[in-house]
Amino acid sequence: MKAKVFVTLKNGVLDPQGKAAHGSLERAGYSFIKDIRIGKVIEIELDDMDRTEAEDRLAEICEKLLANTVMENYRVEIDG
Amino acid sequence: MKAKVFVTLKNGVLDPQGKAAHGSLERAGYSFIKDIRIGKVIEIELDDMDRTEAEDRLAEICEKLLANTVMENYRVEIDG
């Protein structure tokens, strides 16, 4: 089965990468952009299991390894 | 209005970051993970406009700046 995990910076945490992209777009004349924040999307292929169990197990690995919960939020989405 | 852009590596392009995360998880005993690929999710706040126009403009900045279309795919999703 497949799942996606979205890891994004919490509000208030500075995002230099997003700021750089925003600056480049402004300099290139794309003034309709107000703000950009850049996070990660982690596409995971895992053994087939119960949907709830998959959500629990993925939340566990997010807490332990995939996200830095001091600065980042995460959201698990099971495909299909 | 808000939009999200998902930038992911094309099939066949090596993903050292994903491989490292997968390796760490395996060493930590999480053997139910078969594969991990890591991409970017770009959260964009932009001026209000027609939905189709927003999609076109965002596709343009993806092609020009946000994605490297040689190695990466992108997908634009307008929120709401």
ipTM of the complex: 0.90
Cβ neighbours for B4, distance < 8 A, ≥ 6 positions apart: B41, B42, B43, B44, B76, B77, B79
Q: Which CATH number does the domain housing residue A15 bear?
A: 3.30.1280.10
Residue B35 forms contact with A (CB below 8 Å): yes
Interface test with A, best of B50, B61, B65, B74 (most A CBs within 10 A): B61
**Span B32-64, pLDDT tens digits:** 999 999 999 999 999 999 999 999 999 999 999
**Span A33-80, pLDDT tens digits:** 999 999 999 999 999 999 999 999 999 999 999 999 999 999 999 997
Give the domain range for residue A40. Answer: 2-78
Domain count along chain B: 1
Distance in Å, alpha carbon of A32 to nearest chain B alpha carbon: 5
Residue B53 forms contact with A (CB below 8 Å): no
Task: Using alpha carbons only, give the angle B70, B73, B74 rounded to the nearest 5 degrees.
Answer: 130
For the whole model, what pTM was predicted?
A: 0.91
Q: Note whether B36 contacts A43, CB cutoff 8 Å.
A: yes
